[in-house]
């Protein structure tokens, strides 16, 4: 079903078809009719159309490292959320502890970014990064509003990691996604 623009009623016979269209069908397009979960929220998916969304999250607390100077998933399967349903955009927040394990310097950083796999690649422009090479595992946080994705129910949002040089290590990773 879809939303029908509410009509202006006039005095006279009120046919069932009008009530079904105006009351039944339109009520079925509202938020209470579409609510399926606890702790959800509603977004617009287009003109006179809404959908329920949920805040999604995943975490990975183990220590791992990478020597890649371009962004990689770094752990098997990646730290990712699959099957994210959205109407073309989403907000991602991520955090991790990190340090430069080898080749620490004032110009060598451990970097943590985020991608929508196959649609928007991880980038330095929204990556959290630190030069910390003291094994202190400094925590950083990043965020990005991914737009222009096209509506989907199968997108994957994934944390991505790289080092400036040598090896960088990471741990206590968390990823939160607000689909829009």
Partner 1 sequence: MAWTVPRTWVPEDVLTASVLNQQIRDNLLETEVAKATSAGRLLTTAGPNSVVMTAPGEVTAATAVTTTSTTPVALSGGPSTTVTHNGGVLILYGARTRITAGTGTDTTYVTFGPAISGTNPEAAKVSASVRVAATDAAMNRFTGHVIHYGDPGTDTIALNYWVSGGGITGEFANRQLLVWPL
Query: Is residue 154 a contact residue for partner 1 (CB under 8 A)?
Result: no
Q: First and final CA of the chain: distance in angstroms?
A: 21
The verdict on 38 binding partner 1 (CB under 8 A) reads no
Q: Is 11 in the site for partner 1 (CB under 8 A)?
A: yes
Half-sphere exposure for 25 (CA within 13 Å, toward CB): 14
Sequence-ordered list of residues with C-beta below 8 angstroms from that of 41, at least 6 positions apart, any chain: 52, 53, 54, 55
Burial class (CB in 10 A: 0-12, 13-18, 19+), 32: exposed
Q: How far is the CB of 77 from partner 1 (least distance, A)?
A: 26
Stretch that binds partner 1, among 7-15, 61-69, 72-80, 167-175 (CB under 8 A): 7-15
Residues 86-145 contacting partner 1, CB under 8 A: 86-89, 91, 93, 106-109, 124-132, 140-145
Longest dimension (CA), the chain: 84
Q: How far is the CB of 175 from partner 1 (least distance, A)?
A: 15
Residue 94 CB, nearest approach to partner 1 (Å): 10
Euclidean distance between CA atoms 146 and 155, whole angstroms:
12
Binding site for partner 1 (CB under 8 A): 3, 6-11, 14, 22-23, 26, 29-31, 41-50, 86-89, 91, 93, 106-109, 124-132, 140-145, 147, 151, 164, 180
């Amino acid at each position: 079903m879809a939303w029908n623009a509410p009509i202006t009623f006039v005095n006279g016979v009120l046919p069932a078809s009008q009530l079904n269209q105006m009351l039944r069908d339109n009520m079925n397009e509202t938020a209470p009719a579409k609510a399926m979960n606890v702790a959800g929220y509603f977004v617009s998916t287009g003109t006179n159309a809404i959908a329920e969304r949920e805040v999604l999250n995943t975490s990975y607390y183990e220590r791992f490292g990478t020597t890649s100077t371009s962004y990689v998933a770094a752990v098997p399967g990646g730290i990712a959320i699959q099957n994210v349903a959205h109407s073309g955009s989403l907000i991602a927040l991520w955090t991790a502890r990190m340090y430069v394990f080898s080749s620490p310097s004032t110009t060598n950083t451990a970097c943590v970014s985020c991608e929508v796999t196959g649609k928007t690649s991880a980038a330095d422009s929204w990556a959290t990064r630190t030069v910390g090479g003291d094994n202190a595992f400094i925590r950083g946080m990043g965020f990005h509003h991914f737009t222009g994705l096209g509506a989907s129910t199968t997108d994957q949002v994934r944390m991505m990691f790289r080092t400036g040089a040598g090896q960088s290590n990471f741990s206590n990773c968390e990823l939160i996604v607000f689909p829009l």
